Amino acid sequence: MFLGVAALGALGVAFGNSVQNFLGDAFGSGLGGLLPFGDHFRIYSITGTNPKISRDKYRLKVSGLVEHPTTFTLADLQKMPMTSFTKTFQCVTGWRVPDVHWEGVKLSDILERVGVQPGAVAVSFDSYDHADTESLTLEQAHLPDVIVAYSMLGAPVTTEHGGPVRLYVAPMFGYKSLKWLSGIRVVDIVEPGFWEQNGYPVNGWLDGTTGPNNPDPGLT
């Protein structure tokens, strides 16, 4: 917990513009449920700004070890089979938001559409903020609750939440759910992302095995 907050502070992550948000993070672990402001999203941006991409201009470029490199528009994504579910969103710093509804396209459907080449091992993600990056193994990328999301909280994903399109990796902590998704690259090695390069576990499973209280031994 303290490691997490210290790390975030050192990175200069924007905690949103209210002191309340900051306190929510600082006290989130353990006390979160008791605080009046415990149950809401903190808006994070490594760069301190939110890239604004119009729904018309949005593009998702899928490249790397694929048979058919493809650039998807938002309309292209919305024409694909939709997946929706409701889950608790959890940040490693301790805050959580129950009952968040999501809609989007399974990452596995996108991978199937472009065709993964033999020899591929992992998937890397890039953001329109040119700062955050993420990765998943190919196996993790095929989990049914890993989606490219265009709707969140019952509405199109807002700019501050990473819209028009963000990643949502439901079985892992929030840092894996990269906002302002610009690219998906199929690659032959796991490339640890921004948060992982700063000490967070590469496998951010929510089940506690690699949570803030049990960090990957090799990473801290």
CA–CA separation, 163 and 194 (whole Å): 19
Site for Mo ion in 159-218 (CB under 5 A): 174-175
Residue 185 interacting partner from Mo ion, ligand MTE, none (CB closer than 5 to 8 Å by kind): none
Which C-beta is closer to ligand MTE: that of 109 or that of 129?
129
75's enclosing H/E stretch is helix 74-79
Binding site for ligand MTE (CB under 6 A): 41-46, 91, 127, 129, 132, 161-162, 174-175, 177-180
Other Cβ atoms closer than 10 A to 125: 25
Report d(CA 55, CA 78) in Å as an integer.
12
- Both tokens assigned to 50: 């939110």
**Shortest distance in whole angstroms from residue 60 CB to Mo ion:** 23
Q: Which is nearer to Mo ion, 168 or 175 (CB)?
A: 175
Q: How far is the CB of 176 from ligand MTE (least distance, A)?
A: 7
Binding to Mo ion by residue 5, rule CB under 5 A?
Answer: no
Residue 5 to residues 2, 26, 44, 55: CA-CA distances in angstroms?
A: 5, 6, 13, 34
Q: How far is the CB of 42 from ligand MTE (least distance, A)?
A: 6
What φ, ψ does residue 5 adopt, rounded to 5°? -65, -45
Q: How far apart are CA 32 and CA 55, in angstroms?
A: 35
Contacted entry of Mo ion, ligand MTE, none for residue 77, CB cut-off 5 to 8 Å set by kind: none
Rank residues 46 and 114 by Cβ distance to Mo ion and give the closer one: 46
**What is the smallest separation between the CB atom of 195 and Mo ion, expressed in angstroms?**
8
Q: Does 58 bind Mo ion (CB under 5 A)?
A: no
Site for Mo ion in 105-164 (CB under 5 A): none
* Maximum CA extent, the chain: 51
Residue partners of 71: CB distance under 8 A and separation at least 6: 59, 60, 61, 62
The listed partner (Mo ion, ligand MTE, none) that binds 42, CB under 5 to 8 Å by sort, is ligand MTE
Query: Which of 91, 110, 116, 186 touches Mo ion by CB under 5 A?
Result: 91
Catalog residues that contact Mo ion under the rule CB under 5 A.
91, 174-175
